[in-house]
Amino acid sequence: MKKIAVLPGDGIGPEVMAEAVKVLDAAQKKYGFELAYTWADVGGAGIDNQGKALPEPTVTTCEESDAILFGSVGGPKWEHLPPDEQPERGALLPLRKHFKLHCNLRPAKVFKTLVDACPLRPDIAKDGFDILCVRELTGGIYFGQPKGRHGEGGEETAFDTLVYSRFEIERIARNAFDAAMKRGKKVTSVDKANVLTSMVLWREVVTEVAKEYPEVTLDHIYVDNATMQLVKDPHQFDVLLCGNMFGDIISDECAMLTGSMGLLASASLNAEGFGLYEPAGGSAPDIAGQGVANPIAQILSATMMLRYSLNLGEAADAIEAAIAGVLEAGTHTADIAREASTVVGTAAMGDAIVAEL
Amino acid sequence: MKKIAVLPGDGIGPEVMAEAVKVLDAAQKKYGFELAYTWADVGGAGIDNQGKALPEPTVTTCEESDAILFGSVGGPKWEHLPPDEQPERGALLPLRKHFKLHCNLRPAKVFKTLVDACPLRPDIAKDGFDILCVRELTGGIYFGQPKGRHGEGGEETAFDTLVYSRFEIERIARNAFDAAMKRGKKVTSVDKANVLTSMVLWREVVTEVAKEYPEVTLDHIYVDNATMQLVKDPHQFDVLLCGNMFGDIISDECAMLTGSMGLLASASLNAEGFGLYEPAGGSAPDIAGQGVANPIAQILSATMMLRYSLNLGEAADAIEAAIAGVLEAGTHTADIAREASTVVGTAAMGDAIVAEL
Ligand SMILES: CC(C)[C@H](C(=O)O)[C@@H](O)C(=O)O
Ligand SMILES: CC(C)[C@H](C(=O)O)[C@@H](O)C(=O)O
């Protein structure tokens, strides 16, 4: 019996989470494993119900669980709050820090049947691409100290510190090389070693770690060039290894280049394999409550959870195959609908995936 | 009589610079102004001929000039050098710092006749887009102190400081709003105010400066979302205002999205209107010396120089119109060639523009 902390959050979060749980329930029956869910408030729901984006009881629930299944947080209702207290920053950054979730995995894959949704020209998109972004998530300029603000008038300054240690770089580099070993055996490390001292160390350490993986090819690319090459030819990449800030930027660019954000999941892992699993897209307040949101990213987040934290790879494979089957059959939510689609709502999509499973 | 420091640099730099000077010569005759050129070494040429990427005599030449026309620097020959001494970093960063070139203008415009070169799907590219990136160029994490490296073993750390003062932000924000007043009257400020303390100040100050420009619409966007929105719909942007690091990333993404890097120029200006003008693309060592490089970006850099530093807007307009005419007539270099093109080399492209002028 595994314990799952279920944090649906705001906007479309609760709707798509319901479908993920529906699919997990079906998988439990089929594959004979047992999950116990504890639901908890996070984000705007945390603020509204318990006064803060990450209430203490939610943290306790997560601590007592084997994994966190996260929906999405944020919306116009909470945008007037100071940045620190807003749903996104107030919930995600402390969760990452508290559970030491240093390794963020963001697959950006174009589904074969949805290649025409890719915003790139067909001769560039070809038959789709498949990139895994590996982003360092608990260091760099997000958490580096000191941060501050001082002075007055025109002289007033505000500052942040981008800092990386050899240990932090080694750890995330190994995550990237390990992932590459199971894929295309190619790592492209994104840095700005021509300008930043921290990135000179980054490049050095990544180059050293590469020696432990003689089968994997390592390239280095400057972050500015990376944003260009992704647009010019995304097929050249297999695993993209990035620090926290560059990973934030590059993984979102990759996601949008697939043309189907509603299908992208992510995992944020610590060194022990505990993790937080969440869709790559946002809380989409504009369509919340209408039953039209695409639940697939949330369901794929659940399959990443089965694979990485619960060692249930077989069930994960089966759910992913079911999703591919449903998409190939032309059953699509509105966000990925095309001419020949049968357009369905959130719950019907969940049902279709369960049926296919 | 205006003095121009001509720094051709490496790779295709000298070839395309020759064409820019050819076109400037023709414009002088037609519009009755006089330019005196002083050629000087920079980048790899500086290293090879005078021992460093930015030799002192080159700095003196620039100091004695009214503007700097810069080619491009770098190449495999100098890649083994320490980052500080390499052609790009060793020449560009000190030039920006020394001449206080705080304002980088990077137009990213799709030429009407070359819309099909845009890497985006035709229904997204539509009839092209026209974005101006305004990047702060002498502050932020590029130059912020302290920077350093200390400790040993796994504990060894390296760090950089991202710092902005109110004065720096006000200055570049005014540059962006002034530019927007002459264009679409819309500024989108790119930041990461949800995570970085420096960017909270950035957003505050930009919001204050906006009050001086009641006709201009101001939006704020997080940098991760900006990379996505550019791919999804570049038409939504007019002027993009960025700090140094984010501007490096975003302006390159914009450039590649036009599909014709060989046509993009840039200006780096100081508060007095002195500036350095350079193409957006690199030194392209792979095609250097073959007479096939596209000189248009270099020629457009020269027109920006006429407009911003020499107050010769009429001549600049005429050259730009000549370039548009040549492109419309189907005279193209190899990089922008399509089925019906008459493909020409570097010198023939310069001649065609002179003839059209
Ligand atoms: C909401 C924000 C703090 C967060 C980040 O910048 O890491 C988000 O963009 C993400 O990538 O998960
Ligand atoms: C070469 C490098 C130092 C430079 C920068 O990062 O500013 C370049 O990428 C640019 O944008 O001009």
The stretch A301-311 carries a mean pLDDT of 97
pLDDT score of A112: 85
Residues B110 and B128 sit within 8 Å (Cβ to Cβ): yes
For residue A297, being part of any structural domain is answered with yes
Give the helix/strand (H/E) hosting A209: helix A197-210
Q: What is the pLDDT of residues A208-261, one digit of tens each?
A: 999 999 999 999 999 999 999 999 999 999 999 999 999 999 999 999 999 999
Would the CB of A73 count as within 6 Å of ligand 1?
no
Residue A111 lies in a domain: no
Q: How far apart are CA A74 and CA A92, in angstroms?
A: 11
CB contact under 8 A, A141 and B162: yes
Q: How far, in Å, are A2, B46, B299, B311 from residue B39 at the CA level?
A: 72, 12, 16, 22
> Domain range holding B324?
1-105+263-357
Measured between beta carbons, the chain B residues lying within 8 angstroms of A167 are: 154-155
Rounded CA separation B302/B322 (Å): 14
Catalytic residue among A2, A10, A41, A142: A142
Confidence of residue A346 (pLDDT cuts 50, 70, 90): very high
**What is the share, in percent, of chain B residues with pLDDT greater than 90?**
96
Q: Of B205, B229, B258, at which residue does a domain stop?
A: B258
For B37-79, the pLDDT digits (tens) are 999 999 999 999 999 999 999 999 999 999 999 999 999 999 9
Q: Are residues B271 and B301 in the same domain?
A: yes
A164 touches chain B (CB under 8 A): yes
User: How sure is the predictor about B323, in pLDDT bands with cuts at 50, 70 and 90?
Assistant: very high
Minimal C-alpha gap between B82 and chain A (Å): 9
B 260-299 → A contacts, CB under 8 A: none
From atom 10 of ligand 2, which residue's Cα is the shortest distance away?
Answer: B248
- Does position A272 have pLDDT exceeding 90, yes or no? yes
Residues A90 and A123 in one domain: no
Instruction: Dig out the tokens for B325 from the structure.
Output: 């005419």
Give Cβ neighbours of residue A51 (< 8 Å, ≥ 6 apart).
none
Q: What is the pTM of this model?
A: 0.97
**C-alpha–C-alpha distance, residues A308 and A269, integer Å:** 8
Domain co-membership, B139 together with B242: yes
Output the average pLDDT for chain B.
97
Judgement on whether residues B284 and B349 belong to the same structural domain of the protein: yes
CB contact at 8 A, B271 and B257: no
pLDDT at A143 over 90: yes
Give, for ligand 2, the residue of A190, A191, A195 to mutate: max count of ligand atoms closer than 8 Å to Cβ: A195
Domain assignment present for A271: yes
Q: How many domains does chain A have?
A: 2
B114 domain residue, yes or no: no
Which SS3 state, helix, strand or coil, does residue A319 take? helix
Question: B5 and B99, same structural domain?
Answer: yes
Atom number of ligand 1 nearest to Cα B192: 6
Same-domain status, A157 and A248: yes
User: What is the Cα–Cα distance from A354 to A107, expressed in whole angstroms?
Assistant: 23
- Is A141 inside a domain boundary? yes
Ligand 2 mean position to A29 CA, how many Å? 56
pLDDT digit string, tens, across residues B264-302? 999 999 999 999 999 999 999 999 999 999 999 999 999
Are A42 and A7 spatial neighbours (Cβ–Cβ below 8 Å)?
yes
Considering the domain boundaries, does residue B111 fall inside one? Answer: no
A352 closest CA partner among A18, A11, A15, A22: A22
Judged against a pLDDT cut of 90, whether residue A160 lies above it is answered with yes
Q: Are residues B222 and B269 in the same domain?
A: no
Measured between beta carbons, the chain A residues lying within 8 angstroms of B190 are none
B194 has a pLDDT exceeding 90: yes
Q: Do A235 and A159 belong to one domain?
A: yes
Q: A313 at the B interface (CB within 8 A)?
A: no
Q: Kindly report the CATH number assigned to the domain that includes residue B213.
A: 3.40.718.10
pLDDT of residue B113: 87
Per-residue burial over B123-161, b if 16 or more Cβ lie within 10 Å, else e, is: ebbeebbebbbbbbbbbbbbbbeebeeeeeeeebbbbbb
> Which residue, of B258, B290, B320, is where some domain finishes?
B258
Return d(Cα A22, Cα A20) in angstroms, integer. 5
Percent of chain A with pLDDT over 90: 96
**Annotated catalytic, B224?**
yes
Tell whether A329 is covered by a domain: yes
B268 and B243 together in one domain: no
Does residue A113 surpass a pLDDT of 90?
A: no
Q: How far apart are CA B295 and CA B283, in angstroms?
A: 12
Last residue within a domain, chosen from B225, B258, B291: B258
Residues B2, B41, B142, B191: which is the catalytic one? Answer: B142
A224 touches chain B (CB under 8 A): yes
Whether A30 and A49 map to the same domain: the answer is yes
Inter-chain CB proximity B193 and A166 less than 8 Å:
no
Q: Do A201 and B141 touch (CB under 8 A)?
A: no
- Domain check: are B149 and B234 in the same one? yes
Query: Is A114 within the bounds of a domain?
Result: no
**Ligand 1 neighbourhood includes A248 CB (under 6 angstroms):** yes
Asked whether residue B41 falls in the same domain as residue B69, the answer is yes
